[in-house]
Amino acid sequence: MSPRVPTEPTPEEQRLLAAWRTFFEANCKADFAALASIDDSVWGFEIQWEQLEKHEGLGLAFMSDMSTCLASGTIVLEEQFSLHNLSPRPVIRVLGFSELNRYHIADLRMRDRTRFLRFDAVVHSTSRAMGWLKRAAYACRECKHEWVEHEQLARARKKLETCPMCLKNAIAILDAGGKREDLPDPRNFSMDLERNYYEDVQYMELFDPTSLQSDDLPEDVPTIMAILSEEYVNQFQPGQCLTVNATVGIDHLPSRDYIRDTRRILRLDVHSIEEGFSLHED
Ligand SMILES: [Zn+2]
């Protein structure tokens, strides 16, 4: 009854998991062997788009629903890492996308939001590294149910009123002729701080390479905010030339002074980064 209660993978999810298994089997055996000596806590596992695209519908799955596709891939990759006794937590980074995804930062408009695109970009500045609560964990004192809520970056944390399992049980009890007095209190739950998951993130201002006139960083140049996560945090410096593969998202104005302000700015939710431009001359 509640979407929050974990369920068996759907046939589509099972198909995705199977495709990822054969993908890693066919393409990545050597990578796992070479990683044996890595002791980083997070490891960006790089995959070439050319290989992914032609493998059992994974290319289509990636472009139509990137987060579902990557979630399945991560489950399989974590299995592989544990099978090979690799200690880092892997993050899938797909690189080398087709030039069909090419776009210019200066051309971005609101209509482009949700598109997955490839940009040449120069780093203007970076924020300090920070963390955000990506998955909030809860535990119920009545029924001992434990569950996780996925949060959104820079949005209010979800407000939970009841334990989903207690609600489900309550309906079953009432259906079976039980009395209201017999029901557990579904509000008797709390956040489980130990199981909360925080992700490292960093904001980076990028600008279009066409604004580069000399070797110096231009002072007054239109920039777009990009959000980096995990192993990309604190890896890039102002002036660095990059190829950025990202989904176009929208965000509130950083300077908004009232909460229901309708103005929005575009931002880039970075999936992967390649060093150097792929289109412009360096
Ligand atoms: Zn409960």
- CATH fold for the domain made of 133-197: Rubrerythrin, domain 2 (2.20.28)
State the average pLDDT for the chain: 91
Residue located via tokens 């575009």: 266
Let me know if domain 11-95 sits in CATH 3.30.1360.70.
no
**Cα(278) to centroid of ligand 1, in Å?**
52
Helix (H, G, I), strand (E, B) or coil at 282: coil
Closest CA to 254 of 245, 241, 243, 267: 267
pLDDT tens-digit readout, 199-219: 999 999 999 999 887 777 777
**Cα(6) to centroid of ligand 1, in Å?**
14
pLDDT tens-digit readout, 111-133: 999 999 999 999 999 999 999 99
Q: Which residues does residue 252 pair with via DSSP β-bridges, in sequence order? A: 264
Predicted local distance difference test score (pLDDT) of residue 109: 96
Q: What is the 3-state secondary structure (H, E, C) of 196-220?
A: CEEEEEEEEEEECHHHCCCCCCCCC
The confidence band for 1, taking pLDDT boundaries of 50, 70 and 90, is very low
Residues written for the chain = 282
**Segments making up each domain of the chain, as ranges:** 11-95, 100-131+198-275, 133-197
**Cα(195) to centroid of ligand 1, in Å?**
17
C-alpha R_g of the chain: 22
Query: What pTM did the predictor assign?
Result: 0.87
CATH architecture of 100-131+198-275: Beta Barrel (2.40)
Residue range 59-86: average pLDDT? Answer: 95
pLDDT tens-digit readout, 6-52: 568 899 999 999 999 999 999 998 888 888 878 788 999 999 999 99
**Cα(75) to centroid of ligand 1, in Å?**
27
Predicted local distance difference test score (pLDDT) of residue 281: 60
The H or E element spanning position 65 is none
**Cα(155) to centroid of ligand 1, in Å?**
26
**Cα(140) to centroid of ligand 1, in Å?**
5
CB atoms within 10 A of CB 107: 10
**Cα(158) to centroid of ligand 1, in Å?**
18
Predicted local distance difference test score (pLDDT) of residue 6: 57
C-alpha 123/C-alpha 238 separation (Å) is: 5
**Cα(134) to centroid of ligand 1, in Å?**
22
What one-character DSSP code corresponds to residue 96? Answer: -
